[in-house]
Amino acid sequence: MSTTLVTGIAELVTNDPTHPDGDGSPLGVIEHAAVVTEGDRIAWVGRAQDAPDADERDDLDGRALVPAFVDSHSHLVFAGDRSAEFAARMTGTPYDGGGIAVSMAATRAASDDELRALVGRRVAEMRAQGTGVVEIKSGYGLSVADEARALRIAREFTDETTFLGAHVVPPEFRSDDASRASYVALVCGEMLQACAPHARWIDVFCEPHSEFAFTADESGQILTAGKEAGLELRVHGNQLGAGPGVQLAARLGAASVDHCTYLTDEDIASLAGSSTVATLLPGVEFSTRSPYPDARRLLDAGVTVALASDCNPGTCYSSSMPFAIAVAVRDMGMTPAQALHAATAGAAQSLRRDDIGVLRPGARAELTVLDAPSYLHLAYRPGVPIARRIDLG
Ligand code: NIG
Ligand code: FE
């Protein structure tokens, strides 16, 4: 297997606090560093002066190198857009999840090839901005065939696929309580059977503040059925108001609870005593004019925090992790170091992966170079496309 020596790294973020050449911080920063890759893996990390030889060389000429961003929350399988809904929100219309049915109709009407091309374009957009592994959810099909199709297409782009049949109750099941209950039964039964072979995760939009989303009881039933079918758990929780999602996620051992826009002290205590990561999605508060959560409350309590894009047609049509980092620093009380850690190692932990989000021998060679001497520039230069993945070998 061919080896490549990456040199000229002014500042290397390893996320390995134990590296002897690192600064001892959680980011494990090494100055004047080098990395050697072998095939798709990291083979060596350290100071440039100590670097071994390799078959190829790549000189970064004084740039910073960081682990590729891990985008642990996205909804890329959709057709159409909801720019008019966004414009209405900017003049005061609140978000309530009702627009999901609009994207559902457009997605059902699209052909497989159209959807595949749309997802491909969005994944390429992410990679061009420094993202490596991306998680992709279904959730705009909301029928057995359309959910399974969304996951089959998502699987062509990532192993981190998530079944989100419980995104909202689709319009054809909203007439009364019995009809709604029959949708929950469908999600737990036939839809789960059809989708589980194409998914690693199951997710649910648990939100009492939306009439379209799912209660704690319904969410618990759906997540439990998913677990029995061999899927691991994620939850959309506490997005529109304080609610049961965070504590349900912690109680059921979900890998992650995402949004966490509104958190009580009890929510934070339940996360602190669990292995559930709190995934914050700054682009959502930005694009819905919701208040930003205070990430410091979580970090001070010892909760692991992740950042992700939530790229979707409703609450945040941004695929940019640098944008999420910049907003988290500007408006959520994170330091640039905490935000980068959350967008890499934190997000990897939310996917229960130890082979990404870190640069150490044996990890995947998922590298992002910055057209800047330091990772500080990610938040310092918002909107400037300084991050891109490097593809070696
Ligand atoms: O993560 N809240 C639920 N799901 C998405 C939004 C989906 C949409 O509005 O299309 C979210 O914010
Ligand atoms: Fe989401």
Confirm if 319 and 122 have CB atoms less than 8 A apart.
yes
Interval 274-287 mean pLDDT? 98
341 is in an annotated binding site: no
Statement to judge: residues 85 and 53 lie in one domain: no
- How high is the pLDDT of residue 391? 81
The pLDDT of 176-180, averaged and rounded, is 97
The annotation status of 19 as a binding-site residue, yes or no, is no
Q: How far is the CA of 73 from the centre of ligand 2 (A)?
A: 6
Distance 60 CA to ligand 2 centre (A): 35
Does the pLDDT value for residue 393 go beyond 60?
Answer: no
Q: What is the mean pLDDT of residues 7-31?
A: 98
123 C-alpha to ligand 1 centroid (Å): 18
Query: Is there a single domain that holds both residue 385 and residue 253?
Result: no
Mutate to test the pocket of ligand 1, among 167, 240, 290 (most ligand atoms within 8 A of CB): 167
Rounded distance from Cα 11 to ligand 1 centre (Å): 36
Question: Annotated binding residue at 47?
Answer: no
Distance from the alpha carbon of residue 162 to the mean position of ligand 1, in angstroms: 14
Q: What is the CATH number for 46? A: 2.30.40.10
In sequence order, what are the residues at sequence separation of 6 or more whose Cβ sits closer than 8 angstroms to the Cβ of residue 45?
Answer: 12, 14, 16, 19, 30, 33, 34, 35, 36, 359, 360, 361
Please give the number of the atom of ligand 1 that sits closest to the Cα of 240. Answer: 2
Strands 56-67 and 367-370: antiparallel
Q: What is the mean pLDDT of the chain?
A: 98
CA distance 384 to 27: 23
Nearest CA to ligand 1 atom 10: 314
Shared domain for 318 and 377, answered yes or no, is no
How far away, in angstroms, is 223 Cα from ligand 1 center?
18
How high is the pLDDT of residue 173?
98
Residue nearest to atom 9 of ligand 1 (CA): 314
The pLDDT of residue 289: 97
Mark whether 258 and 223 lie in a shared domain: yes
Same domain for 122 and 164, yes or no, is: yes
Pairing of strands 305-307, 367-370: unpaired
- For a ligand 1 pocket test, name from 93, 205, 257, 279 the mutation site with the most ligand atoms within 8 angstroms of its C-beta: 205
Determine the distance separating the centroid of ligand 1 and the alpha carbon of 312, expressed in angstroms: 7
Residue among 71, 74, 75 whose CB has most ligand 1 atoms within 8 A, to mutate: 75
Q: What is the pLDDT of residues 324-383, one digit of tens each?
A: 999 999 999 999 999 999 999 999 999 999 999 999 999 999 999 999 999 999 999 999
Residue identifier of the C-alpha nearest atom 12 of ligand 1: 315
Tell me: is residue 140 an annotated ligand-binding position.
yes
Q: Which domain holds residue 11?
A: 3-68+357-390
Q: Measured from the CA of 288, which atom of ligand 1 is nearest? A: 12
Q: Could you tell me what percent of the chain has a pLDDT over 70?
A: 100
Q: Clarify whether residues 154 and 15 are in a common domain.
A: no
**pLDDT tens column, 219-268:** 999 999 999 999 999 999 999 999 999 999 999 999 999 999 999 999 99
Q: Does 128 share its domain with 209?
A: yes
Atom of ligand 1 nearest to the CA of 258: 1
41 and 135 housed in the same domain:
no
**107 and 64 in a common domain:** no
What end-to-end distance do the CA atoms of the chain give, in Å? 9
Q: Which residue owns the Cα nearest ligand 1 atom 8?
A: 314
Residue whose Cα lies nearest atom 1 of ligand 1: it is 310
Count of domains observed in the chain: 2
**CATH code for position 332:** 3.20.20.140
Do 180 and 100 fall into the same domain? yes
Residues with CB under 6 A from ligand 1: 97, 99-100, 103, 205, 236, 239, 284, 310, 312-315
Both 151 and 41 in one domain: the answer is no
Same domain, 193 and 61: no
pLDDT of residue 392: 74
What ipTM does this complex have?
Answer: 0.98
